[in-house]
Amino acid sequence: MGGCCIPITFRGTPREILAQLIAAKEVTSMRKEEGWHIYQPDEDWTYIPIYDERLCPTCESFGGIWNGTLIPVQLPDTNSEHPNERLANNERYPNTHVTFPHLRGQCRCLLHFDDYLRTLAERLMAEIEVIVL
Ligand SMILES: [Zn+2]
Ligand SMILES: [Zn+2]
């Protein structure tokens, strides 16, 4: 799963290449520990309603792809706990019926950060590329 294939060319003397590799390792360790802020412009999220007779028109209209930056703005009650499911690292609960309190019952939808490992690997490679260039 995941990964990407951005080639990085190391150039210079052995001493310079070693310095680049060490810097790349430091960036990688830091990102492994800290990750990145969520909901960035390079993130595609899929809003997934449950299509049954209980689905409300608002949740239905939200079904589809969302750019990461829109989620905190338009679905500010999104959180990492879902009432009915255990969420993976790349899933969130949109909590749409709290954001729009005129909606009855409880939102059952799911937000899924698509291609999440590849997106994170691309960010990391872009940061390493800057060190190497
Ligand atoms: Zn709804
Ligand atoms: Zn919903």
Q: Could you tell me if 107 and 75 lie in one domain?
A: yes
Evaluate if residue 1 carries a pLDDT over 50.
no
Handedness of CA 60, 63, 66, 68 (dihedral sign): positive
Contact 68, 40 (CB under 8 A): yes
What average pLDDT does this structure show over 103-117?
96
Q: From ligand 1's centre to the CA of 33, what distance in Å?
A: 36
Reported as a single tens digit per residue, the pLDDT across 22-47 is 999 999 999 999 999 999 999 999 99
Kindly indicate the confidence band of residue 9, based on its pLDDT and cuts at 50, 70 and 90. Answer: confident
pTM for this predicted structure: 0.86
| 83 and 67 belong to one structural domain | yes
Q: Are residues 25 and 49 in the same domain?
A: no
129 secondary structure, DSSP code: H
Same domain, 71 and 28: no
- 91 C-alpha to ligand 2 centroid (Å): 14
Domain boundaries, position 106? 44-116
**Domain count of the chain?**
2
- The 8-class DSSP code of residue 103 comes to S
CA of 49 to the centre of ligand 1 (A): 8
Say yes or no: 25 and 78 in one domain: no
Q: Mean pLDDT across the chain, nearest whole number?
A: 93
Tell me the pLDDT band of 93, cut-offs 50, 70 and 90: very high
Residue 2 counted as domain residue: no
The amino acid at residue 52 is D
32 lies in the same domain as 49 = no
Look at residue 57 and tell me if it is in a domain: yes
Give the pLDDT of residue 3: 55
- Is 3 inside a domain boundary? no
